[in-house]
Each structure stands twice: as structure tokens, then as C-alpha cells.
Amino acid sequence: MNEERNDPIQVVKIEQPSDTITTLSSSTCSCLLQNNILLFGKKGMMTAISLDKNKMTVLHQYSFSGTIEQMWYHQQMHLLICLINSKLESFQVDLNKKASNEVFKRITTKQIKNIGPFECFSTFVRKGVVFIAAVDTKKKSSITLIESKTDGIFYKETKVWNAEDKIVGCNFVNQNLVLVYPNKIQIISFFGKSETICNKSIIPFKGKPRFLELQLNQILVHTGNCVYSIEEDAVNLVPSDYPVITISKMSPFIFFMQEFAHNKFYITYRLEPMTHASPHSLDFRRPEYYKGSYMHEAVPVFISGTSKQLIYFTPNPKWYESAIQNGHYQSAIEFITLLGNSADEHSEQFKKCAYTLGVMNKIIEFYKNEENRTSENIITILNDFKMGGISPKNILVFLELFLFHDFITDLHSLFQDWFTVSIENWKKDMVKTFPGQLVKNLQDALEEVIKEKNTALKNNKTVPLQNHFNSEGHSTKEIIQAIVTYLMAVKSQIVNKEQIDGETSEEREIFYTSLVVIVYYLSPNSKEMLELLQNTKFLFKTVILKILEEHTTINKKLLIEYYISQNHIDGVFNINGISYYDKRNAVIRILQKKETGDKNKVYKKIEELIEEKIESNGGRKFIEENNMKLQDELYLIFGKEKSVLGIDEICTIIEGWEFGIKDENEVNEFRNRLSCLYCLKCYKEQGETEELGKEVIEKYIIHIKYASINNIILTDEYIKSFIEISNKYPSIVEKINYSIISPLYYKIRACIGLIQHQELMPMLLQVCKELKEQEEVLDDIYNDSFNQLVKFMLKLFNQKKIPQNVTKESLMTLLYSPSIQKILKEEYIPLSLVNNLFAEISLIIFTSTNPIEVYHHIHQQIVKDHLPGTVIRFIWDLADPMALPIKGGDEEIKEELKIFEGDEDRQSILEGIIGYLEKKKTKKPEGMLLTDCYLEYLKIATSDRLNATSKLNDQMQNTPVLQKHIEKDYDKLPWILRCRIQHTKCKYKGLLEYFKQMKNQYSSTFAEDSFCELDNFIRRFDRTFNFDGTSGSIAKMVRLIRQNYRPFNKVHPNHIGAETIMYCVCQMNISTNTSALLSFLVHLLLEKDNDSFDNPFPISFALELYSRFYPIIPLKFTEGEFKWLGVKFDTFELNIDIETCLFNKMLDRVESFDDLQILLPAIYSYARKYFYLSIYSNAIKGLTINSNKRYEVIDRKTVCYKCHDQISATSAFVVNNGQYAHEDCNELNLENPIN
């Protein structure tokens, strides 16, 4: 070997064992089994040998009958296919076996008949199927396709091609098939539609061709003395100065055995690639003499039978250095790769240098030739940078300073404000890792790159360089997309590394920030952009915020992702217009990280989220009514079962929240509620274990303590969960003192008591007793008990027996039914179906074996223990005279009333007793008890909730005996009943009772309010009514009042003044259509300056009242009206004048012109009436005076009714009411005429 030339090949000669060498020299074919294991075939034998340095070892020899003509081996399948005596045979190869027949196991199973004779074959593996194209021996012009499984069994054959000429060889190039004829080479498409792709005439030859596969889509074919390079659709002659005897390969070298002179043979080897004349390709020659040698195709092994030598070539480990120095970068790379384990310690470094120097040439070509500016070339450059060990940061620097700066200026503009790396900095960084002997090479290459860059820019001053960027049809977007794809692949290989190739944190930030900017420029809403912001910590904050500063939906989404990746929870919450759900999602994702930054900040934000959730959903009401929604929210936020925090840690966090609540008890209740809810959710979602159950119960007990202080009502579902856990793991609550549980939560208390073997009803009654001081709570329980029972019944009977508009009475009727009670006994489970103390007691009674006895016992116990009045009222509500009667009847009721005499709860007890007695519907004498209860109820009731006043009014109207009984308590009766009693005795005294009530409710706007409520009452029955002062309007008002108002009845206006007025309007004299009582009221209202009669109302009230009703108000009372009113002047106690004319009295009281204006309608009406009466009277008078002349006829019998003398025909006379009198007698107005 010539060291000066630094030959890449070393020659090894082996002479032992000589007999094996002699055997191998007559081989007819061979193949490579492994890297250093070769298989040779000849007549009757296959020999496997291994080569190690200068030693050859025979591993296996396998004998068979026939001559092996061709062989092919697939290492992964361990499948060997041979052509033996022109027939295809397959073998499974196992080199680990010892016996040759086990190493080469012949496959005897055949699913096809035709396995030969064939001239030659070629194989192609596709989707686990081995396709074998074989040339038929008989026709020698047809191709048969045989398919084999990976196990070597031939299962299908197809005739696929018929040629016009004799085929002497075939070989696959990718999926196409190369057919070699004695004078041409043909390429056909083999899969799919068969057709000719290429026909190439060649120098005619004899014998069979030899094929050498260089790569998937390129082969060499040796025919005669020539070599052809064949690709998928092209055939090219490889130039050679001498005839080629045979060919072989050891990448990156291709070996040609050439005959330089007669019987003088030399080995020429050249560097790949062979696709085109490469400026980096070299030829080397070995002036060795090999006569009659066999040359192995896959490995350059030469066997000479004459000299009994086996000669093979191995790479020279040091050759790559000179290759790189001389510019053969690709060959050096391939050479170092070939060395494998034999490479020295510097080879990998030099390999990277070869990549780096090679990429500089590609960049130069990129600037020189427009045709090279394609996305494929850009990616090739970037890949070579990567293979050269160039850091990701420096790769991005190249992209910005060269590609973006020169070709994509709008993308470059996104880097200008912050990207400070210069070309000089980049050059310095690039040479840092280069070995000393190659630094000059790199520096020269970099200078050449910069020179070509400047030249290109100079030449394109008039036309921007980027306009020349797309000559191959690639858009800028496609090229950037290719760059992004490459960079994302680079990023995926360096994830989770603390450092990238020894770079500083600033260099990491340059790489990642640049990558984000490029991806954002390409497609801000791409998945790559999201991935970058989600998984990258090393970013320049100011740059990211700058590109995302515009308020768009996608920018907001990206900004959220950025802040999450940086664990910057404050940044997320400060984003303008961010939704609750985005904030919650950010908190969840940050919590799921191992590194969350300032944890306390995150916990504080969770507190803010929960507070926001509550405030936006109705505040406290949402807390109390939606326990489970809050529970789900907490469980979702803290990461469900994947939480990085323990349950105790999370509870501690929750119990430290403040929520801006100042009241200590309130905030403690809320904290512990949330803590308990979270534990409960964990229990339900994570297996319902006893350990978690214990944790939940402990949280319940703590929360209940604070909830009771604030009188918080717990939801059904919340309480139900406690009961379920307690019943499942009773040992958890066995030692809890149930009596410490607040009576507000009777179900929890009773549940614990039942587990500790206590009786249920006594516990419930004790709860009632302890609630005595909490009247509002008892009232709420009482008021809700009906609803709870209705819900339970609706659910139980599915609305089949329960009407939608169910009332309390109809519900109780159902509960009294034996058939319903039977169903209830089967379905009711204590403490599980209702969440109301009174409803629970009700169901216990009605589901007992003997409801009457149980009820009577409970009733007695409640009275005995003097339980609160609301409880007694409730127990009385359950009673029914027929279905659930009170033992002892009215006497026991009276006895119970005595027990609670003077008690503060007596009103509630009376309400219950009255309800029971009303069900009896009894008459005298039993009815007296109900009346007495009404009367006593009205004495102590703050409001008449039972409408007892109206009911007593009905009793007085229907039963005279009861009226007298009621009158005994006159002074203690409500004013309306006193009015009725006085009304029945004396009308004006009834009005005086009304007047007293008017004075009691006097206000400065009393008059206006009275008439307003009067109009409102009338509009209940006629919406179109509008009082305008006309006689028609007055008549309509009077009619509507008389039709719809009944004194002392339930339908009343909302004002005593309006009610008094309507009471008077209804008391009318049918014959005269006037209301003396209304006139009396006006007299009362006009009374002023009277020390013995108090009248606080202004005169305008009386005037307005008169002007509204003057057509039905008599101006002066008649004797009959005085009698009807009950006025007896000898006993009339009021010191007021009611005998004078009302109109005169009103005119005397007028105080201003405004008062007079009120009376104008009445004055006009009376003026018209007076004028009419005056004219009418004068007409009558004239008629009487002239009657003897006009109408009257007298005779001798006509006498004066005054003096009883005859009236002569010539006498003047008058007629008064049909009686005749002398005119003189009439004028004397004789009272007692003379006989």
C-alpha cells in the first residue's frame, strides 16, 4: 500500500485453509449472510465462512444434489432462496445451530406446481410478501411472478410478461423490473399495469449479466466488458478506460476488476455516488495480478485457485482525514460509517466536520443557482447542519441571517427588534468545535459563503432576491412549513435536556423564541404553535408578549398557553376578557405540573375562581342549593385522581381560604363545607374505601358544627351521603356522641343514634324540644313539611294518585287511606326519603301498625314534655275527627288548652286545635268550643292567619245564639266585628265604629288614599272604569259597589276609608234611592270646632265625598230616615247638628275657592233642579187661578172647603189639590175653617 497516497483500502491475503480456498474458487454464486459471514455455492455444496482480520473460518458446509446457479438472502426473514438445477428452492437459515441440515433447513412445502425450470430470478419484498420474478428456461422470453410468505412457502404464480427476445437476466430497481437482453436493457413497471418505461440499446454481449445493488432505486449491471447504471426510468453507461471483468461493492467503494493487458488484471475502485459525475469522486487502482479469480459481488473478496489465495479488502481507518482535506466530504462520511466499530476516537468528530464543510458548498450553490433554491435543498442544508453537530441555536441564526434576511423579509422583520446575533458572532461559534487542522477549511468555506451571499444581493439590487425564490414552484409558505417541520423534529430530540449541546440559557432562549416566531408567522393557530407554547420554558418574554399583543381570539388562546407553560398564573388571570373556564383550565394544568412555581399564588387563584363561581350564580343561595356543583368544581380543579397533591394537603389549602368574608363563623362554615365536599367526591370517585369514609365523616362533623352556628340548611343529597357512608362503615360513627349534633340536622343525628341502637321517635321528639328557642327554624320546618310530603308522594306514586294541584286537605285524605298506608309501609325507609323533621314524624305515624295509637302516644308525649307550639300545631294538623281522632274529645282539648294557658306558644296551639275543630263541622252546642277558640285566638294573635274574624262574622250571620255568645267579649273583638254588632242594633252606631277606625288610621293623605283604593276596588270588576264626575259615572260607580261589595265580608278594599264609604253606599233606601248613612258620614266629616267630637279629617274630604255621591245623598233627613238610622233625639249622645240642610252646612264650611270648586258639579245639579221646581210651581199656580175660565166647571153644589159657602158662578175661586175655595178664603189661609 502506498502511504503517500493514503490509499483508502488495505489488502488482506489469506492462504489457509488451502483446501477450502480451492473449493471456493470454483464457486458459481455467493451472498452475504452477515457483516463478516459469506455464503458460497457450487455444484453439490454450500459453504459458509467468516472473515476476521487475516483469518478465515469455515462455519458450515451443506451438501445437496445439483448445481446452485443463483442465491438471495434476506437477513431479517432469515430466508434463503436459491436456483438449483434451474428450480427455485427456499431455506430457513439459523446460524446458531450446529448441524448443517439445521442451519440450512430446506422448505419442502410447495403450494404451486411450477417452481422451474428458470434461467434466473430477482426478488422484491413488499408488505411482508416476497415477490420473485423468474425467467422461464424453455421460452426464455416470459416472466413468471411467484409470491412467497416470510416462511419461504411459494403459494402463488402469475405469468406477467412476454418478451419478443430472449431474456438473459432480470433485477428489481425499486418496484420496477430491469430486463437484460443480449443487445438491450428494458425497464418495465411491474406492479399494477405492466408497461415499458425505458428501452436502451447496449453493446451486445454473451453470457449472463451481473447485478450490483447500490441503493433502493439504483443498480449496476455488468454485461460483457461494460457496466451500466440503472435507475427507475433511466439506463446510463458507466465510462471505463479498460474492459470490466467483474464488479463488487464495499460502500462507499465500487470495485471493478479490469483487464489492462492480456491476462493482466487490476482492481479499480471508485467512490460513490454513481448517479452522475461528481466533483468529489475519485478512482483508485491496485496494480495486482489476479488470474482466474472469483470475485464476490456483495463484498470485495477475490479467490484465486491457482495461487490458492483468498484476498479481500478492508478500509484504511485513517483515510477519511485526507478525504476531508481534499474536499471529498460525502465519501469521508460514508467511509467513516463503513468503519463502524473499527473507527478511531476522532472519526465521529471528523464526520461532523465533513457534514459541516459539505453544507457550506450547498449554501454556496443555493446562492449561485436559482434552481437550487427549493424547500428540499433547504431541508438538506438544515439536516447536514444537524449531522455536523451544529447547535439548534446556530441553525436558527443561519436561517435568520441568511434565509429570512435575504429571501423572506417580512419574516425577518419579526426578528429585527430583538435578534442581536451577527454574522461575525455566528462565524466564531461555528469554528469553536472544529479540530485545529480543519479550522482553516471552515473559515475559508464561511468566507466563500458570505462572498456568494453578498454577490447575490449585489446582483439583485434592482429585483428583490426573494422574487427568485420560487423557481421550482415552491411557495414561501411551503418552504417555511418545511423548515418548521424540520425544527420541530429537532426540538423533539432535545426535550427535557437541561442544556442543548452545552449552550447557555440565553442561547436556548434564542432557539426556542425564534422557533415560536417562525411558527407564529406561518400559522398562529397551528398545532405546532400550541405545542411550542405549552412545552417550552426557554422563551424571551418580551418577544412573546410583543407578537401576541393584538387582541384577537387566537392570540388570547396562545397567551394563555404561554403563561401556563411559564407557571405564570397571574398573567393568565390578567388577560383582558378571559373567561372563567379559561382561568379554571389554566389553574388545573398548572396544578398538574411537578413544578408549579409559587404554589400559594395558584391556591389563591383557586380561591378567586370558587368565589367568582359563587358570585356569578347567585351568591349564598348557590352555596346552599348547589353543594354538588361546588364539589365537582373542586374535584375538577384539583386534578381528580391524578392530583399531585394529597387529600390532606388539598383540605388544608381549602381551609385556609378567606373569600373576603369578615364573619369568622361564616367563613369557617364555608371553608369546612368545601373541604368536606372535596373529600366526599374523592370517596365516591376513588373506591369508597373505609379510610376515605373516615376522612369524610370527620369533615362532616367539623362542618356541621359551624353550619349549626349559622343555621345553615343542608341539602338532601349532602345529608344522604353522610347516612350512606355511616351505614356502610358503622364503626366510623360508633364512638361519636350523637347528642352533640345540632338538632337542625336531625337525620345525621338520628342516623348516628340508630347505629348506636337508640330508638328513632324519642330522638326526633328530643330534636323538637331542643329547637324550642329557634322559632324561625321550626316555622320553616313546619311550612316546608307539606312540600316535602307532596314530593315524596309524587315520586312514590308517579302522579297516578296525586293530582298536580294537590292541597293540604287532599294530601291528608290520601294519608288517612288504609290502601295508601299499606304502600307506604312497604316503601318508606326512615331517614332516607324526606329531609324534613315533621314530614319524617308524619310518615313514621302513618306507616305504623296502629296509626291511631301511635299518634295518641306521640301527642300525649309532646304535651307532657311541653314541646314548642309549632310542634303541637303540626301534630294537631295530622289529627282528623274520623281517621285520626283525639281521644277524650272536646274535654281533652279543653284540658290541653288549660295546660298551655298563658303560654307564649298558645297561638300556634290554638291554630292547630281550630283546624281540627273545623273538620268536625259541628253545630250548637259543640260549636261553642270552636267559637271560643276563635275569640281567644283573636285576643292573642298578632295577625289573623286563620281568618277567624271572617269566620266569626259568618257564625254571627248564620247562628243568632252564637252572635249573643260572641257579643260577651265585645271590647276584645276586632273592630270589624264590633261594627257588625253595632250595625245590627243601630245603623249610625255601626258607622261610628267605622269612624273610630278611620281616625285610628288617619294620615295626611287619608282622603286621597281612600278614593284611590275605592277606584282600584271598582276596577277589579270593570277595568275600563274611570271616574269623571258626571252623573253617568256616579251611577255606574254606585251600581258596581252595590253589586260587588258586601259589608263585613272577605272581599275588602285595602283602606278603611274606602271600606267605610262603600259600607254607607250599600245602605240605601230602595224607594228613594238615597243613602241616609252616607249623608250621616258627611255630617260627621263636616263637624269642626266641636270640643265634644274629634274630627281630624279636612273639610275637603267631606266635600269630595259629597261631590262623588251627591245624587244619592239626602240634603235633609226625614222622620223615617232618623228612625232608620236609630237616632232618638232624647237619647242622642252626639253633640252635632244633623237636622239642618246638608248643603247649607257644606257652604258654611267652605274655606277656599278650591273647596268651592269641588262642589261645583253638585251646585250645578241642584241649581238645575231648583229652577225646574220653581217654574213648575208657578205654572201650577197660574193654572189654579185661571181654572174657572179655562178648565173648571162649577155648579150649585160647589162649596168652598174653607168657609163651606156656595161658590157662585161669578165668584173668583182656586183649586188646591182638587178642592175648591174662594180666593179670599184661600188667601186668609184658615187653619180652622168656620162651620
Q: What is the pLDDT of residues 1094-1133, one digit of tens each?
A: 999 999 999 999 999 999 999 889 888 899 998 888 778 8
What CA–CA distance (Å, rounded) separates 580 from 484?
33
How far from 315 is each of 287, 890, 1067, 1133, CA to CA, in Å? Answer: 18, 125, 136, 146
pLDDT in tens, 431-458: 887 888 888 888 888 899 889 888 888 8
Q: Is the pLDDT of residue 371 over 80?
A: no
Q: What per-residue confidence (pLDDT) applies to 2?
A: 40
Question: What is the rounded distance in angstroms from the CA atom of residue 556 to the CA atom of residue 302?
Answer: 71
Residue 342's pLDDT is 67
Residue 487, H or E segment: helix 476-494
462-495 pLDDT tens trace:
545 555 555 455 677 878 888 888 888 877 766 5
Q: Which residue has the higher pLDDT, 787 or 297?
A: 787
Which segments of 36-138 are extended strands (E)?
37-52, 55-74, 79-84, 87-93, 104-106, 118-126, 129-136
pLDDT value of position 748 = 93
Is it the case that residue 291 has pLDDT exceeding 70? no
What would the mean pLDDT of 239-248 be, rounded to a whole number? 83
pLDDT attached to residue 972: 82
Residue 647 has pLDDT above 60, yes or no: yes
Q: Which of 17-21, 297-301, 425-429 has the lowest mean pLDDT?
A: 297-301
Q: Given a cut of 50, is residue 1231 above it in pLDDT?
A: no
Distance CA 703, CA 144 (A): 86
Statement: residue 293 has pLDDT above 70: no
- Sheet strands (E) in 527-606: none
More confident residue, 286 or 670: 670
The answer to whether the bond into 317 is cis (omega within 30° of 0) is: no
Task: Indicate whether 1198 pLDDT > 70.
Answer: yes
- What is residue 1180's predicted lDDT score, i.e. its pLDDT? 62
Q: Would you put residue 207 in left (φ > 0), alpha (ψ -120 to 50) or beta? A: left
Q: Give the pairing type, strands 264-271 and 1213-1216.
A: unpaired
- Evaluate whether 1137 touches 1079 at the Cβ level (below 8 Å): no
What is the rounded CA–CA span in Å between residue 230 and residue 213?
Answer: 10
- Grid cell at residue 114: 411450477
What is the structure's pLDDT at 1150?
A: 87
| pLDDT score recorded for residue 499 | 46
pLDDT of residue 438: 84
Distance CA 248, CA 229 (A): 14
Kindly report, residue by residue over 127-163, the tens digit of the pLDDT. Answer: 888 988 888 887 778 888 888 888 888 888 888 888 8
No. of helices (H) and no. of strands (E), the chain: 50, 28
- For 570-604, the pLDDT digits (tens) are 999 999 889 999 999 999 888 888 776 788 888 89
Q: Tell me the three state secondary structure of residue 261.
A: strand
Average pLDDT (210-230) is 87
What is the pLDDT, as a whole number, of residue 855?
Answer: 94
Looking at the predicted structure, is the pLDDT value of residue 1048 above 60? yes
Q: What is the pLDDT of residue 1235?
A: 33
Average pLDDT, the chain: 84
Backbone angles phi, psi at 282, to 5 degrees: -130, 150
13: three-class secondary structure by DSSP = strand
C-alpha 878/C-alpha 630 separation (Å) is 38
| Predicted local distance difference test score (pLDDT) of residue 1189 | 45
List C-alpha distances in Å: 748 to 584, 698, 728, 912.
Answer: 34, 13, 14, 29
The crossing angle, in degrees rounded to 10, of helices 476-494 and 527-535 is 30
For the chain, the residue count is: 1235
Mean pLDDT value of segment 401-417: 84
pLDDT at 179: 92
**Which residue reads 285520626 in cell numbers?**
884
Say what the pLDDT of residue 801 is.
65
- Confidence (pLDDT) at 274: 52
Tell me what pLDDT residue 485 has: 83
Distance CA 891, CA 898 (A): 11
Q: Say how far apart CA 150 and CA 891 lie, in whole Å.
A: 106
Residues 41-61: tens digit of each pLDDT:
999 999 999 988 788 899 999
Rounded Cα–Cα distance for residues 141 and 293 (Å): 32
Is residue 250 predicted with pLDDT exceeding 80? Answer: no
Q: In what order do the strands lie in the sheet with 210-215?
A: 210-215, 218-223, 226-231, 235-237
Domain boundaries, the chain: 320-504, 617-734, 974-1172, 1186-1228
Rounded mean pLDDT, 1-11: 59
Residue 281: per-residue pLDDT: 44
